[in-house]
């Protein structure tokens, strides 16, 4: 008799995990704490339902990471799903409610009906780098807010000096924290051979500095090694999305944005710099403009093509080559017979 597969959908929140599990006609719906004890309790409960277990959860950042790691260590196949895929699947099921229980049921239905894509955890150093990078991102957002507050305060002559001094001190402290965390990122990179190699390749590419290389590497290093360049593009939400219906509805193509906003944002400035400083990238940019593309559309196209270039660089261990990004067409030599 074939072993019954246990299929599990997990909705993750900061404090709790809402579970929907099914093994043939046997079902279980429950809730456990989102901590180490709760993870162990969940694994024990699932093993009582069967031996072959597959579980899925949404990619909710750090709240689901420990659970995914615990399930993987226990030998349970895990799928970490794009939240956009869960949302679209819920719409296809005509799901009207938005609760933790309803979300867990939707994820379970996805596991039961769609192809299961197992998740493999990346090296610990890659996770550490991404966590540091995203924390730096949050601190920089706070720094921008504090600078805006200082600018507004300085524009008003009645602002007390103590407020101005407090804002200046807050800005200085944030800058120190960011610098310390960026230094820690470099330490993590230096201690891992693969990260160091990829970081050197990024730094040697046009448009990348230390800060932008840390951002991009932090997001790319955690991805599965078998992902293709097109998978990277979709992961970043830079894949084109077409909208047409019949002969009367035809909207301009847009990027899906159904992906990693951190990676998408990290590519913007390097692509902008490359378009200004590299002849090949600039030629590609100008070509798109002559074809009627708007500047922002051309910029996004460079981001997508740059991501493909990075994928090739990491795979072949070669530096950035502008001629492979875009080959500039040489003007035809003048006709010697014409005079």
pLDDT at residue 279, rounded to an integer? 95
Q: What's the chain look like in SS3?
A: CCCCEEEEEEEECCCEEEEEEEECCEEEEEEEECCHHHHHHHHHHHHHHCCEEEEEEECCCHHHHHHHHHHHHCCCEEEEECHHHHHHHHHHCCCCCCCHHHHHHHHHHHHHHCCCCCCCCCCHHHHHHHHHHHHHHHHHHHHHHHHHHHHHHHCCCCCCHHHHHHHHHHHHHHHHHHHHHHHHHHHHHHCCHHHHHHHHHHHCCCCCCHHHHHHHHHHHCCCCCCCCHHHHHHHCCCCEEEEEECCCEEEEEEECCCCCHHHHHHHHHHHHHHHHHCHHHHHHHHHHHHCCCCHHHHHHHHHHHHHHHHHHHHHHCCCCCHHHHCCCCCCCCCCCCCC
pLDDT band at 138 (very low <50, low <70, confident <90, very high): very high
Q: Provide DSSP, 85-139.
A: HHHHHHHHTT----SHHHHHHHHHHHHHHS---------HHHHHHHHHHHHHHHH
* pLDDT score recorded for residue 95: 83
State how far the Cα of 169 lies from the Cα of 175, in Å rounded to an integer.
10
Q: Is residue 53 within 8 Å of residue 81, measured between CB atoms?
A: no
Are residues 311 and 229 in contact, defined by beta-carbon separation less than 8 angstroms? yes
- Quick count: other Cβ atoms within 10 Å of Cβ 130? 21
Segment 125-138 mean pLDDT:
95
> Residue 339: its pLDDT value, please?
42
Q: What is the pLDDT of residue 257?
A: 73
pLDDT band at residue 5, thresholds of 50, 70 and 90? very high
- Residue 72 pLDDT greater than 60, yes or no: yes
pLDDT at 88 over 90: no
> In the beta sheet, which residues pair with residue 54?
7, 77
Tell me what pLDDT residue 249 has.
46
pLDDT of 251 above 60: no
pLDDT at residue 3 above 80? no
- Between residues 226 and 150, which one has the greater pLDDT? 150
Structural domains for the chain: 5-113 (3.30.420.40), 220-325 (no CATH)
Strand spans (E) along 246-301: 249-255
pLDDT 10s digits, 180-212: 999 999 999 999 999 999 999 999 998 999 999
pLDDT of residue 1: 44
- 3-state DSSP assignment of residue 20: strand
Per-residue pLDDT of 288-305, as tens digits, reads: 999 999 999 999 999 999
Secondary structure of 175-193 in HEC code, one letter for each residue: HHHHHHHHHHHHHHHHCCH
pLDDT at residue 336 is higher than 60: no
Residue 94: burial class (beta carbons within 10 Å; 0-12, 13-18, 19+): exposed
1 compared with 309, residue with greater pLDDT? 309
Find the angle CA(221)-CA(224)-CA(228) to the nearest 5 degrees.
Answer: 100
pLDDT tens digits for range 150-165: 999 999 999 999 999 9
The predicted-structure confidence for 264-290, as pLDDT tens digits, reads as follows: 999 999 999 999 999 999 999 999 999
Share of the chain above pLDDT 90, in %: 73
- Coil, strand, or helix at residue 29? strand
Provide the β-strand partners of residue 236: none
Rg of the chain, C-alpha, whole Å: 25
What token pair was written down for 135? Answer: 């924390």
Q: What is the mean pLDDT of residues 62-79?
A: 91
pLDDT of residue 86: 86
Arithmetic mean of pLDDT, 103-127: 93
Mean pLDDT of 99-104: 92
Structure tokens at 34: 């989102």
Identify the bridge partners of residue 251 per DSSP, sorted by sequence position: 243
Distance in angstroms (rounded) separating the CA atoms of residues 305 and 206: 13
Distance separating alpha carbons of residues 100 and 12, to the nearest angstrom: 8
């Amino acid at each position: 008799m074939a072993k019954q597969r246990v299929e599990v959908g997990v909705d993750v929140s900061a404090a709790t995990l809402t579970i929907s599990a099914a093994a043939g006609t046997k079902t279980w719906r429950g809730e456990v704490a989102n901590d180490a004890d709760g993870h162990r309790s969940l694994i024990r409960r699932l093993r009582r339902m069967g031996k072959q277990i597959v579980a899925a959860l949404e990619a909710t950042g750090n709240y689901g990471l420990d659970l995914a790691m615990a399930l993987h260590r226990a030998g349970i196949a895990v799928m970490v799903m794009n939240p956009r895929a869960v949302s679209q699947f819920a719409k296809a099921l005509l799901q009207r409610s938005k609760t933790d229980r309803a979300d867990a049921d939707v994820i379970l239905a996805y596991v039961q009906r769609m192809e299961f894509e197992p998740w493999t955890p990346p090296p610990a150093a890659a996770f550490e780098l991404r966590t540091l990078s995203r924390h730096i991102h949050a601190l920089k957002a706070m720094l921008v807010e504090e600078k805006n507050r200082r600018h507004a305060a300085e524009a008003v002559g009645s602002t007390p000096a103590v407020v101005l001094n407090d804002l200046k001190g807050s800005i200085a402290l944030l800058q120190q924290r960011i610098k310390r965390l960026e230094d820690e990122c470099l330490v993590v990179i230096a201690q891992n051979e693969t990260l160091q190699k990829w970081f050197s390749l990024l730094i040697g590419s046009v448009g990348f500095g230390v800060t932008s290389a840390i951002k991009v590497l932090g997001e790319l290093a955690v991805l599965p090694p078998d992902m293709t360049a097109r998978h990277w593009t979709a992961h970043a939400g830079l894949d084109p999305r077409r909208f047409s219906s019949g002969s009367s509805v035809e909207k301009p193509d847009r990027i899906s944005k159904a992906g990693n906003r951190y990676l998408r944002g990290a590519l913007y400035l390097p692509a902008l710099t490359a378009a200004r400083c590299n002849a090949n990238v600039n030629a590609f940019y100008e070509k798109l403009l002559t074809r009627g593309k708007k500047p922002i559309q051309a910029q996004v196209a460079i981001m997508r093509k740059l991501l493909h270039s990075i994928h090739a660089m990491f795979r072949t261990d070669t530096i950035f080559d502008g001629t492979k990004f875009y080959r500039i067409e040489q003007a035809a030599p003048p006709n010697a017979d014409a005079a």
